[in-house]
Copies of this chain bind each other. A is one copy, B any other.
Amino acid sequence: MSLRDVTFLDFIQDRIQQVEERMRFQSDGYSPELKFALEYILSAGGKRIRPAIVLLVGGMLGGKPDTLITLGASLELLHTATLVHDDLIDGSLLRRGNFTLNANWSPAATVLAGDYLFSRSASLGADLDNLAISRLFADTLAAIVSGEITQLFGRQRTADREAYYQRICEKTASLFVFAAKAAAMVSNVDEEAIEYASSYGHELGMAFQIVDDILDFTGEQATVGKPVGSDLRQGIITLPAICYQELHPSDDSIAVVFKGDVEKAQIERLIASIQASEAIEHAHQEAEQFAKRAIAALEKLPGEQARGKEKQALRELAEFVVSRRV
């Protein structure tokens, strides 16, 4: 089941469309190649889970619809910019079943297209007339890059849960925090509510990334779009590998694989061992704990009566994130 199939977001689909339109509108006045790049990237679609969080949290807390659409568009452009640079870094030619920009464009043009998306995101962000959000925007980008570079330099060569959490917090959860926190910030609620919204975003983002990392082991290549175990093949240790090491403390295959220079068959064996072990279930239980904490933070927020629909959708989103198979 993918986010495209769920029904609990149906009632915000027209607002999601408005977010898409606001993103597109940002390309006017610059080179035609950039307009083309933006159109191309946006037409590839995406789950738009981050704008959905903005619309739901802000909707629940009484934020103005137009402000939330601008915020959602700014956020999704920031996310898209990091994806464009990511795909270049990974050399990925496919994302979500579509060719990525860099499969058609040169690396140079792809770098610039990503930079352009940053600028359009920052421009929309400035439209919010909220300096605290501009600051959060800048710090979120720094956190994402910091997480990416830690992963790229492969500093984490041991099964260390804390280092893993730190990395996915920066790389992924930071943008979920931005979505929920900024939505609360534009909605005129008190500091406490902003903190609960921020917690919801953090816990949800952590759960989301853990499930992504599990799907890297359990998903089918056709739906995930990458070979099974691709993280491990690239030298990236994720939660299933960490849980596996805990379950089998005397098995040194992870250490061996990370010393490098191993045969492909050894990596295949390790991937198969992790897949067959209880590590997957253990990792999944951790993701569920994050989702539960997300819901607990959500329950502290107002919005039960008039805007119960948004609150219910945020609950279902947290449940969905850990039950999804794609």
A interface with B by C-beta (< 8 Å): 30-31, 33-34, 82, 85, 88-89, 106-109, 111-116, 118-120, 122-123, 125-127, 129, 131, 134-135, 137-139, 141-143, 145-150, 152-153
Contact partners of A150 in chain B: CB under 8 A: 31, 33
Whole-angstrom distance between the alpha carbons of A232 and B119 in the complex? Answer: 29
Q: How many copies does the complex hold?
A: 2
Contact of A145 with B115 in the complex, beta carbons under 8 Å: yes
- B119 to A142, Cβ gap below 8 A? yes
| Given A34-B146, A115-B118, A116-B145, 17 extra CB contacts under 8 A | A30-B143, A30-B146, A34-B145, A82-B115, A111-B114, A112-B145, A113-B149, A116-B142, A118-B118, A119-B142, A122-B122, A122-B134, A122-B138, A123-B138, A125-B134, A125-B138, A134-B134
Inter-chain contacts of A123 with B (CB < 8 A)? 135, 138-139, 142
Identify which of B109, B125, B149 contacts A109 (C-beta below 8 A): B149
14 contacts between A and B (CB under 8 A): A31-B146, A31-B147, A85-B115, A88-B111, A112-B145, A113-B149, A115-B118, A115-B141, A118-B141, A119-B145, A125-B138, A126-B131, A126-B138, A131-B131
The answer on a CB contact under 8 Å between B146 and A122 is no
Please state if A153 and B109 are interface contacts (CB–CB under 8 Å).
yes
Q: Check if A31 sits within 8 Å of B149, measured CB to CB.
A: yes
Tell me the complex Cα distance, A114–B112, Å.
Answer: 11
A4 to B82, CA, bound (A): 37
Known pairs A30-B143, A138-B123; A108 contacts B129 (CB<8 A):
no
